[in-house]
């Protein structure tokens, strides 16, 4: 593959969108944990929208760039790389956490806050996207053969919705694992198996392409949402 100016521009913009989306996601975890009384995220400087606080050099920068290169070069690795941020650590110490809700509910709320922030960001960007289309902003510059701002807004909507639904998969270490922990007793065989083997299950799905199959409905939903926004803007 020849790395030209178009690819460099694409990679930089895609990386910026991913970093911002991951930043919002991790901030959601830290903010809710902080509001529930956990002092650890604030002490580690995570209750902020500053991307530098949430970037993981490998997960946020290196892996996404490998994925972009693989997709552009039609490599067998295409679509098999993901991006992630620096995890938000919480203490969940009963001494600090609010007593208005159970520890189990606090764990669920903290875990769901990341995907919720991505959905909120997608909703905000959806309003901006519809407004841009109604004002006549084009999606693509045919003369220079490149997407324009409105197109990137649509991509970021899809990215945030996809990130939210991906993280809601009920498999630790993803946020959706908290759903299983909330619905089932901690000693339940399913909970114990997922906590012990969840990372291996996730890795197997990633390497075999099973993850892409599981995320098929999420892809359809995000595409359907963008199609609905086009109809609202017409």
Question: Of 26, 143, 187, 195, which one is the catalytic site residue?
Answer: 26
Helices (H), the chain: 5-35, 40-43, 63-72, 103-134, 149-167, 177-183, 189-208, 210-214, 216-233
Residues 6+ apart with CB under 8 A from 34: 41, 42, 47
For residue 96, CA distances in Å to 26, 76, 92, 99 come to 21, 48, 8, 9
Q: How far apart are CA 117 and CA 127, in angstroms?
A: 16
| CA–CA separation, 16 and 64 (whole Å) | 11
* Active-site annotation holds for 26: yes
As a whole number of angstroms, the longest Cα–Cα distance in the chain is 62
| Positions marked catalytic | 26
């Amino acid at each position: 593959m020849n790395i030209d100016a178009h690819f460099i521009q694409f990679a930089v913009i895609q990386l910026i969108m991913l970093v911002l989306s991951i930043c919002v996601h991790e901030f959601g975890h830290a903010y809710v944990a902080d509001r529930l009384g956990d002092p650890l995220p604030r002490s580690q400087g995570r209750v902020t929208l500053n991307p530098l606080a949430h970037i993981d050099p490998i997960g946020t920068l290196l892996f996404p760039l490998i994925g972009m290169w693989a997709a552009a070069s039609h490599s067998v690795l295409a679509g098999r790389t993901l991006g992630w941020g620096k995890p938000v650590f919480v203490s969940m110490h009963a001494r600090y956490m609010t007593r208005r809700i159970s520890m189990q509910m606090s764990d669920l709320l903290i875990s769901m806050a990341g995907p919720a922030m991505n959905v909120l960001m997608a909703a905000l960007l959806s309003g901006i996207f519809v407004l841009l289309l109604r004002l006549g902003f084009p999606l693509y510059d045919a003369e220079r053969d490149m997407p324009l701002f409105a197109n990137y807004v649509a991509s970021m909507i899809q990215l945030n919705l996809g990130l939210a639904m991906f993280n809601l998969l009920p498999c630790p270490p993803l946020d959706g694992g908290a759903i299983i922990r909330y619905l089932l007793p901690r000693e339940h065989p399913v909970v114990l198996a997922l906590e012990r083997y969840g990372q291996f299950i996730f890795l197997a799905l990633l390497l075999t392409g099973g993850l892409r199959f599981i995320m098929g409905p999420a892809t359809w939903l995000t595409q359907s949402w963008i199609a609905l926004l086009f109809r609202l803007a017409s």
